[in-house]
Amino acid sequence: MQSRGIRLADPDSGAPSRRGGAGPSDHKAVTVDGRTVMIPIYSDAAARSPFLAEAPDADGSSALLRDGNAVARVAFPRPPRFYAMQTFDGVPYWKIAQLHAADVLATTVLQTCVRYGNRATACQFCAIGDSLAAGRTVNRKTPEQLAEVARAAVLLDGVKHMVMTTGTPNFTDRGAAILCESAFAVKAAVDLPIQAQCEPPDDPAWFERLRAAGVDSLGMHLEAVSPEVRARIMPGKANIGVDEYFAAFERAVAVFGRGQVSTYIIAGLGDTVEAILETCERLVNIGVYPFVVPFVPIGGTPLAAHPAPDAAFMRSILEPLGRQLVRAGMRSADIKAGCGKCGACSSLAAYE
Ligand code: SF4
């Protein structure tokens, strides 16, 4: 389902989902067999998917059909209560942070990126500016706003951890500074584990500062692993080479601990199975959790027509990767906060 997407008989099923933006855009949270996963629904491929979710029953669950045959029942998490609220300065909470999967609060602290405005440097899979242009979010979420929303999301909706990502504001701290002030404000308001996500900062002292500000785990995302794929898909960000990422990973693991530093790897952008697994092995050896997810094309981006990887390709990576993780004693459940812990954008945790 994550590779093919699903069609919805009732487009209003579950919580409203968002087009564009960072993270699992054009997806919807779907609960299957008690596990909530993010499934593409707006991509062109999803419109041709063999999977169709029928309109929800009175109890909120739907029959899932594959080529017309019932294969499962699925449910859609309801809109969280905090979506109905607004800040003291009049901004709807849903424009400041979103509910991801079942119990994760996710925000893009800064919705602009130094790399995004120019196609020569922008990552081709990214739609960070689209949701801003469409008025579905605000550019800079202030620490006060984030604290207010996080507190409500914990109290009203029981969120368990928070993901703070950011567009890259500069070529020095690369977002670490605004993540520090944001995490500090949230932690002062509510006891909520936080994962921060940014590019490797120029000065490793930022890892200590992030930790001191209340960040529990850190994501620095390779996205693709082979130099030629990175240069093609993310021409600006590829200037920070894989070796520079590895140097940053080692420094970050020393601060946050083994298994509390992770990286996103998007399968289906051109990296081979072997290249991804080799990089994952290197990552696991130094204590970094490689969160491998299937690429999902997002409408309006240069990769909108690029196919998602099929289920067999994903299995050929996730099965051996699951064995690597078991051997290393690393488990998503032990991550304090973040995408690896949530796991909804991949089926990796099922192979651990
Ligand atoms: S894995 Fe990360 S991006 Fe995906 S739903 Fe969970 S928190 Fe959001």
What's the pLDDT at 78? Answer: 87
Query: What is the C-alpha separation between 113 and 204, in angstroms, rounded?
Result: 21
- Cβ-based neighbour number of residue 248 at 10 Å: 21
Q: Does the beta carbon of 163 lie inside 6 Å of ligand 1?
A: yes
Higher pLDDT, residue 57 or 330: 330
Query: Residue 153 is encoded by which pair of tokens?
Result: 């999301």
The alpha helices in the chain, defined as continuous H runs, are 44-47, 128-133, 143-157, 176-189, 205-213, 227-233, 242-256, 273-285, 311-328, 339-342
What's the CA-to-centroid distance between 101 and ligand 1, angstroms? 7
Cα 347 to middle of ligand 1, angstroms? 12
How far apart are the C-alpha atoms of 22 and 24, rounded to whole Å?
7
Note the residue count of the chain. 352
- Asked if residue 181 has pLDDT above 80, the reply is yes
Between CA 264 and CA 252 the distance in angstroms is 15
Going by pLDDT thresholds of 50, 70 and 90, the confidence category of residue 7 is: very high
pLDDT(142) > 70: yes
**Is the CB–ligand 1 distance for residue 100 below 6 Å?**
yes
Task: For residue 2, report the distance from its CA to the centre of ligand 1, in Å.
Answer: 13
The letter for the amino acid at 319 is E
User: What does the alpha-carbon distance between residue 340 and residue 292 come to, in Å, rounded to a whole number?
Assistant: 9
Backbone angles phi, psi at 110, to 5 degrees: -130, 120
- Which of 108, 163, 216, 293 to mutate to test ligand 1, by most ligand atoms within 8 A of the CB atom? 163
pLDDT tens digits for 41-94?
877 788 899 999 999 888 889 999 999 999 999 998 889 999 999 998 899 999
pLDDT, tens digit (0-9, with 9 covering 90-100), for 116-131: 988 899 999 888 888 8
The predicted structure's pLDDT at residue 13: 74
Q: Kindly report, residue by residue over 195-227, the tens digit of the pLDDT.
A: 999 999 999 999 999 999 999 999 999 999 999
Query: Is residue 38 lining ligand 1, measured as CB closer than 6 Å?
Result: yes
Portion of the chain with pLDDT greater than 90, in percent: 81
What backbone phi and psi angles, to 5 degrees, belong to 335?
-75, 140
Q: What is the position in ligand 1's atom list of the atom closest to the CA of 343?
A: 1
Classify residue 92 by its DSSP letter: B
Q: Tens digit of pLDDT for each residue in 289-318?
A: 999 999 988 888 899 889 999 999 999 999
Give the Cα separation of 333 and 26 in Å (integer).
Answer: 26
225 vs 234: CA distance, rounded Å: 11
Is the pLDDT reported for residue 260 higher than 80? yes
CA–CA–CA angle 233, 234, 236 (5° rounding): 150
Report phi then psi at 121, rounded to 5.
-125, -15
Closest ligand 1 atom number to CA of residue 38:
5
Residue closest by Cα to atom 1 of ligand 1:
339
Contact 304, 278 (CB under 8 A): no
- What pLDDT is recorded for position 295? 94
Ligand 1 binding pocket mutation candidate from 2, 38, 160 (most atoms within 8 A of CB): 38
8 Å CB contact between 45 and 6: no
Question: 274 exposed, middle or buried (CB, 10 Å; 0-12, 13-18, 19+)?
Answer: exposed
Q: Give the integer Cα–Cα distance in Å for 12 and 263.
A: 33
Compute, in angstroms, the gap from residue 24 CA to the centroid of ligand 1.
Answer: 7
> Picking from 28-32, 185-189, 248-252, which range would have the lowest pLDDT averaged per residue?
28-32
CA distance 314 to 221: 19
